Chain A
């Protein structure tokens, strides 16, 4: 009985140590985060970058694919949500214009 308790103690110490090492200290491979995991302010910046890039390269499929990284099932939603939020917050027109331009070309209904 005492041996079993010692064994379980060793086992639990080993598991705890392994989880700490495996998740925090030595996560396997690189940190491969996707744009969907960005903090909200960086997500907004990502969407703005997509829109600004579109004003220069006019590559609509590429813009759509980039937005799909944020929401694969409905790529238009992140752009529409940000545009509506920033419009409501009274952000300057210069900030909104590239987003509106892209939203228009993606056929996003902003009503």
Chain B
């Protein structure tokens, strides 16, 4: 009986001492771990980086592998936060679209996801954009920066209008010219009722600041200074550098209205530069 008591005393003391050693003096160290075992702040960063990486390369399979076995709520929170911060810092639209697409696949429901996946109603535009608001191809065709350049459309999204965040309908024509250029025409589409029928009127928008930003710089021009072209027209001569430009109207903050990529192209068997002619049509309902 006494021996049993001595054994139990030894056992209890051993247990207590062993637990102090295992929990306090020498807690376990981990090696060869994988992302789900990371500390919460590193897991959150892993999810965030996965969102940005998907925004950069669009590799869905890779993104799914990276997020494997992570808690669903952490994934959703991380993807939503990453999208919000990317949008707030004005990342290019294609990146935001991809990040929103990934977030949507993981069940994230937020205004940013709805906006960048195209599921959100636009803030001020009419539910059905007036079909006649589509700019004519002539207006969207750019003037080359030099008299000798002959623009040949190499790609055009006309006549399909694309509603944008700031309730502009965007159309663009891309040509290959000797010098890189970007022109923007701002118009207002107003629907009026005449003789009981709805008509759409297109008016140029003068006095609007059009901003372009790029990594390490920004520039802006005000519409209406070239009335012989159009009161809503501005253009930018761009350096011969392959680069992405974000386009804003009035303030260069938040999500860009469009992202324009200037790249090399072939023009009459010589190297040229892509030039973009954008028409932004603001739709006002009666």
Interface residues of A (CB under 8 A from B): 2-3, 6-19, 21-23, 27-28, 30-35, 37-39, 42, 45-46, 48-50, 52-53, 55-58, 66, 69, 94, 98
Contact check, A18 vs B17: say whether CB atoms are below 8 A apart.
yes
**Bound-state Cα–Cα, A23 to B215, Å:** 50
Which residues does chain B contribute within 8 Å of A48, judged by CB atoms? 53
Min Cβ gap A96→B in Å is 13
Which residues does chain A contribute within 8 Å of B35, judged by CB atoms? 38, 42
Contact check, A38 vs B66: say whether CB atoms are below 8 A apart.
no
Interface of B is mostly: helix
Contact check, B39 vs A33: say whether CB atoms are below 8 A apart.
yes
Which residues does chain B contribute within 8 Å of A23, judged by CB atoms? 22, 28
B33 contacts chain A at the CB level, 8 A cutoff = yes
Contact check, B53 vs A52: say whether CB atoms are below 8 A apart.
yes
**Bound-state Cα–Cα, A22 to B22, Å:** 5
B50 contacts chain A at the CB level, 8 A cutoff = yes
Which single member of A12, A16, A38, A56 contacts B55 (CB below 8 Å)? A56
Interface residues of B (CB under 8 A from A): 2-3, 6-19, 21-23, 27-35, 37-40, 42, 45-46, 48-50, 52-53, 55-57, 66, 86, 89, 91, 95, 215
Contact check, B10 vs A9: say whether CB atoms are below 8 A apart.
yes
Which single member of B6, B23, B34, B39 contacts A34 (CB below 8 Å)? B39
> When A10-B7, A11-B13, A45-B66 are in contact, do A33 and B30 touch as well, CB less than 8 Å?
yes
**Bound-state Cα–Cα, A34 to B40, Å:** 10
Contact check, A49 vs B14: say whether CB atoms are below 8 A apart.
no
Which residues does chain B contribute within 8 Å of A32, judged by CB atoms? 38-39
Which single member of B7, B12, B22 contacts A6 (CB below 8 Å)? B7
Which single member of A8, A35, A94 contacts B38 (CB below 8 Å)? A35
Contact check, B21 vs A37: say whether CB atoms are below 8 A apart.
no
Select the residue from B8, B32, B215 with max chain A CB neighbours within 10 A.
B32
Which residues does chain A contribute within 8 Å of B40, judged by CB atoms? 30
Contact check, A7 vs B10: say whether CB atoms are below 8 A apart.
yes
List the 4 closest pairs (A to B, CB-CB), nearest first: A14-B14, A18-B18, A22-B22, A10-B10
Which residues does chain B contribute within 8 Å of A16, judged by CB atoms? 14, 18
> When A7-B10, A66-B45 are in contact, do A18 and B15 touch as well, CB less than 8 Å?
yes
Min Cβ gap A110→B in Å is 22
> When A2-B3, A12-B14 are in contact, do A52 and B56 touch as well, CB less than 8 Å?
yes
Contact check, B37 vs A49: say whether CB atoms are below 8 A apart.
no
Min Cβ gap B70→A in Å is 13
- Nearest to A66 among chain B residues (CB) is B45
Contact check, B6 vs A10: say whether CB atoms are below 8 A apart.
yes
Which residues does chain B contribute within 8 Å of A55, judged by CB atoms? 56
> When A49-B46, A57-B52 are in contact, do A17 and B15 touch as well, CB less than 8 Å?
yes
Contact check, A15 vs B91: say whether CB atoms are below 8 A apart.
no
> When A22-B19, A57-B91 are in contact, do A14 and B56 touch as well, CB less than 8 Å?
no
Which single member of A11, A28, A49 contacts B53 (CB below 8 Å)? A49
